[in-house]
Amino acid sequence: MKPDQMFDVRGKGCIVTGGANGIGLAFAEVMGENGARVTIIDRNEEALEATVSRLTSLGYDVRGVAIDITDKPAVHKAFDETTDFYGKLDVAFLNAGINSGPGFITRNISGAPRERPPERALENFDDARWEELIGMTLTSVFTTLKASARNMKRQNSGKIIVTTSVAAHVNIATGQVPYAVAKAGVLHLVKHAAIELAAYGIHVNAIAPGSTKTNSGNGFFNNPANAAAVENSKNMSLLRRQAEPSELAPVMLLLSSDASSYMTGSEVLVDGGFLLAPRLAM
């Protein structure tokens, strides 16, 4: 079979959460460019409108739905309406989430010594922040998995792709400690869903990015004031740089197409060798 046949996604009805920018946008772009029909869900209405406008101007079949991913009734309604709109839900890319911010030790920036600020200690970690992170990053995946499964089981087919993270496999004391907990939970959800849904012809896989240039953490990596932290992040991978979101697009296309017909329950690392690179955890 030729590559254009193996990776063919023309006409597929797709949905992506957190798709107005970053990794979700990379999915919308690669799928739209290759002839799929894409519904982008995002809570940032302004960014969503701009993204949909730009992609439709390129000739892509893209529409937007502005909802908060933690609003469960709205999520189910959006997934049901998208399935009805396309006649079938072929691909669901469950990507929405937030970053947890700093860990219990400060980063070593510009030679400054590392410290343990009291407010970052486990016993002092803000409960509201914990609940927000778990809701946005873990519970939202559970909700969207439910919405995807309900629609795909009726058609006995479908591809579900979930964004996990290298943080699911390692904790870095300078950041991502509660985020790692949430992403580890997401990874186990992927594996459970793959086991349960295989009998219905539904494939469930994950993409685990390493450090990627996105607006996560309120644009932390795009802020010139954080240049030292960005440089530190680059040095934590074997390739000594961050990924562009577009570098994940080939894997997205793989997991959305028949090229992954014998893949389910898999997590594909796109981390520049992050998990192999030596690092100081403390």
- Tell me the residue type at 125: F
Q: Which of 86, 179, 200, 262 is catalytic?
A: 179
How far the first Cα of the chain sits from its last, in Å, is 49
The backbone torsions φ and ψ at residue 77, rounded to the nearest 5 degrees and listed phi first, read: -60, -45
Structure tokens at 164: 């996990």
Calculate the dihedral angle through the C-alpha atoms of 211, 212, 216, 218, rounding to the nearest 10 degrees.
Answer: 100
- List the Cα angle 95/97/100 in 5-degree steps: 145
Q: Is 86 a catalytic residue?
A: no
Q: In what order do the strands lie in the sheet with 13-17?
A: 61-66, 37-42, 13-17, 91-94, 158-163, 202-209, 267-270
Residues 6 or more apart whose CB falls under 8 angstroms from that of 254 comprise: 7, 260, 268
Separation in Å, CA 32 to CA 164, 210, 229: 23, 24, 34
* CA max distance for the chain: 59
- Contact indicator for 64, 81 with CB cutoff of 8 Å: no
Structure tokens at 151: 């629609």
Q: How far apart are CA 133 and CA 250, in angstroms?
A: 28
- List the Cα angle 105/165/129 in 5-degree steps: 50
Catalytic residues: 179
